[in-house]
Chains A and B, each alone.
Chain A
Amino acid sequence: MKILVTVKRVMDYNVKPKVKPDGSGVVTDGVNMIVNPFDEIAVEESLKLKEKNGGEVVVLSIGTKDTTTQIRAALAMGADRGILVLADGSVDPDAAARLIKAVYEQEKPDLVVLGKQAIDDDSSQAGQLLAEYLGLPQATFASKVDVAGKTVTVTREVDGGLETISFDMPGVVTADLRLNTPRYASLPGIMKAKKKEVKEFTPAALGVDIAPKVKVLKLEEPKARQAGQKVPDVATLVGKLRNEAKAL
């Protein structure tokens, strides 16, 4: 089976983002950039499916030339080749979905696997948009994926329980936290990744207009919650909860 898996270049989740003074964005100078953690899970799942069923894993990213680093990281884990769609500045989820669609139409994979959301804009839209634009079935927030012949069966952890759905390929899956634990790239893997092909396209070459449907006007730091008081013991805590907060 052929799998198209997407990775997004995002700020390291260990770094607390700082809003630029003019609110136009967050400070990225000198900040470590990583593969979006949910996308790393998507890459791992794609590799597992390939190991079981044979085939090819193609990694796709959208971003500046620097994003090649994140594609190579996925190639070092074991993906076969990469595609980078060059775009400066922010690409909204709708434009991203339409770019992925254009690549899908060239590559004709059996399955597209994405992370359930990117940890920068936290939109959680691209996979669902892509599925609708392609008229494909979707299984988002996957915690288990089984492939038997043409049929993909996915367990999803939803409100109040576990839901199982299935579809015949092609289709779109988005990866949740519990799906797997991504492998570390091996040294030989990293060496091999350097020689793997990464093709580049521009949005124009793919025939996609990336003008955003949603504009980010301004960013700001959230209002901090006021720290309260420390209490010396359990009895005081219960007393305050009862008499002051009226919460018990």
Chain B
Amino acid sequence: MATVLVIAEQAGGKVKKASLAAITAGQQLAKGGAMHIGVLGENPADAAASLLGYGAAKVHAAAHAGLAHYLAEPFAKVVADLAKANGATHVVLPATAQGKDVAPRIAARLGAGMASDISAVVDDKTFKRPMWAGNVVGAVEITTAVKVVTVRVSEFAAAAAGAAAGEVAKFAADPGTPKAKFIKFEEVKSARPELTEASIIVSGGRGTKSKEGYKATVEPLADLLGAAVGATRAIVDDGWVPNDWQVGQTGKVVAPQLYFALGISGAIQHVAGMKGSKTIVAINKDPDAPIFQVADYGLVADLAKAVPELMEEIKKVKG
């Protein structure tokens, strides 16, 4: 029977939304067995307490001053220790920047095989996952006794909380002595929501024409809608926008309620990162752009004209 350990990610005592997708995958895997949830940090008690309503046999808080800032070595050690202490057969993490960084080290510590970025749980050892930039879906089998997976957040619904039950269990974390040192974290200060947490995303591609063109179309529309901003790999490559705005197989994989693709041709690399969106709107002046094949609503138009019009219409209907 499966004993599943889901590792939830927290920042400042708050659980990141991506963790709820990992919990959903954990619940699917734990059918007939038990699910545990672990939260790491300097003081993860509040975050852990907020996870008591998801049906876990136990929610573990691993607190240690050495876990104040995320680093791969101590986090991998503590998660592996927690997995061993609870006889975990599966360790599940969201495929966030942290999850992707730490999960293989956990697998190595546990002698486990690992499947990255799973899109579905088939059974307790078989998983589906996107490959070749989302052009191919592979069914993979992990053959080791302990299995590690990271979860593609856009492919699993966020788990819904029930009534809180039980108490948070304290885990005596020993982070060891990492060789890497945390120097600093510069938050990209933005009034906009984070890409992976946003319910609306406005993204731009080469069709926005320039750094200035992107600023003049994508950003005002996003701000009007309270949306996050995204970009294609091409314009990240060109340095128009920061790397962490990239939506795509090698960037962020997102699944908002509403996704605007402005001047985006629809390279498979990009589509792999946003095709899980509930409603997709594409505006592009090229009527043959492949993006129209995945868009729910397509408008063939010049952005410089269409975006201001769109903003006017939205202001009208939203009052």
Whether A227 pairs with B294 at a CB distance below 8 angstroms is: yes
Contacts of B258 in A (CB 8 A): 241, 245, 247-248
A-facing mask of B262-299, CB < 8 A → 1, else 0?
00000011000001001111000001000011111111
List B contacts of A97 (CB < 8 A): 104, 108
**Interface size on A (CB < 8 Å)?**
81
A125 and B104 contact, CB distance less than 8 A: yes
Q: Mark A20-38, 1 if CB is under 8 A from B, else 0.
A: 0000001000000000001
* Measured CA separation A218–B275 after assembly (Å): 22
B96, B140, B237, B295, most chain A CB atoms within 10 A: B140
Q: 8 shortest A-B CB distances, which residue pairs?
A: A213-B113, A128-B104, A228-B296, A137-B180, A132-B108, A137-B179, A158-B97, A132-B105
Q: Which A residues are CB-close (under 8 A) to B292?
A: 227, 230
Please, how many angstroms separate the alpha-carbon atoms of A163 and B96 in the complex?
14
Task: Determine if B180 and A138 form an interchain contact, defined as CB atoms under 8 angstroms apart.
Answer: yes
Q: Which of A152-208 contact B (CB under 8 A)?
A: 153, 156-168, 171, 176-178
- A231-B299, A241-B281 given. 7 additional CB < 8 A pairs? A121-B131, A159-B97, A159-B98, A159-B196, A168-B179, A212-B113, A214-B114
Complex interface: chain A residues within 8 A of B71 (CB):
165
> Assuming the A-B contacts A160-B187, A227-B293, A248-B258, are A234 and B299 also in contact, with contact meaning beta carbons closer than 8 angstroms in the complex?
yes
Residues in chain A near residue B116, CB distance under 8 A: 122-125
Give the residues in chain B near A136, CB-CB below 8 Å: 179
A221-B136 in contact (CB<8A): yes
Q: Which of B29-37, B40-48, B165-173, B309-317 touches A?
A: B309-317
B126 within 8 A of A: yes
Interface size class of B (residues with CB under 8 A): 35 or more
Which single residue of chain B is at the shortest CB-CB distance from A176?
B243
* A128 contacts B101, C-beta separation under 8 Å: yes
Does the CB pair B178–A137 fall under 8 Å? yes
Given A119-B132, A178-B236, decide whether A163 and B185 contact each other with a Cβ distance below 8 A. yes
Report the Cα distance A233→B302, complex, angstroms: 11
In the bound complex, residues from chain B placing their C-beta under 8 Å from that of A233 are 299, 301
Checking B107, B135, B178, B249 against A16 with a beta-carbon cut-off of 8 angstroms, the contacting residue is: B135
CB closest chain-B residue, reference A163: B185
Chain B residues with CB below 8 A from A133, complex form: 108
Say which residue of B109, B179, B185, B243 sits within 8 Å of A167 (CB atoms).
B179
Most interface-central of B97, B130, B132, B144 (chain A CB within 10 A): B132
Query: Is the pair A125, B114 in contact by a Cβ cutoff of 8 Å?
Result: yes
In the assembled complex, the Cα of A231 lies from the Cα of B140 at a distance in Å of: 41
Whether A62 sits at the interface, judged by CB under 8 Å, is: no
Check if B313 sits within 8 Å of A131, measured CB to CB.
no
> From residue B117, how far is it (CB to closest CB) to chain A in Å?
7
- Given the known interface contacts A131-B72, A225-B275, the answer about A94 and B137 at a Cβ–Cβ threshold of 8 Å is no
Give the interface SS of chain B, mostly helix, strand, loop or mixed: mixed
CA distance A16 to B244 in the complex (A): 25
Nearest CB of A to B305, in Å: 9
With A138-B72, A159-B196 as given contacts, are A222 and B130 in contact (CB-CB < 8 Å)?
yes
Is there an interface contact between B104 and A237, defined as CB atoms closer than 8 Å?
Answer: no
14 A–B pairs (Cβ distance < 8 Å), ordered by A: A97-B104, A119-B132, A122-B116, A128-B72, A128-B104, A132-B76, A158-B97, A163-B184, A166-B181, A214-B115, A225-B294, A228-B295, A229-B296, A235-B313
Majority DSSP secondary structure for residues of A touching B: mixed
B72 to chain A, nearest CB (A): 5
Give the residues in chain A near B178, CB-CB below 8 Å. Answer: 137
Query: Is B87 on the interface with A (CB-CB < 8 A)?
Result: no
Return chain A residues, CB-CB under 8 Å to B309.
Answer: 234
Are the C-beta atoms of A120 and B141 separated by less than 8 Å?
no
**A162, B130: Cβ atoms closer than 8 Å:** no
Counting CB contacts under 8 A, is A68 at the interface? Answer: no
The answer to whether B186 and A122 touch across the interface, beta carbons within 8 angstroms, is no
For the complex, give the distance between the alpha carbons of A221 and B137 in Å: 6
| Complex: A137 Cα to B108 Cα, angstroms | 14
Q: B132 and A120: CB pair below 8 A?
A: yes
Residue interface mask B208-220, A partner, CB < 8 A = 1: 0000000000000
For residue B206, CB closer than 8 A to chain A, the reply is no
B257 on interface, CB distance cutoff 8 Å: yes
With contacts A26-B136, A141-B97, A234-B309 known, is A94 near B113, CB below 8 A? yes
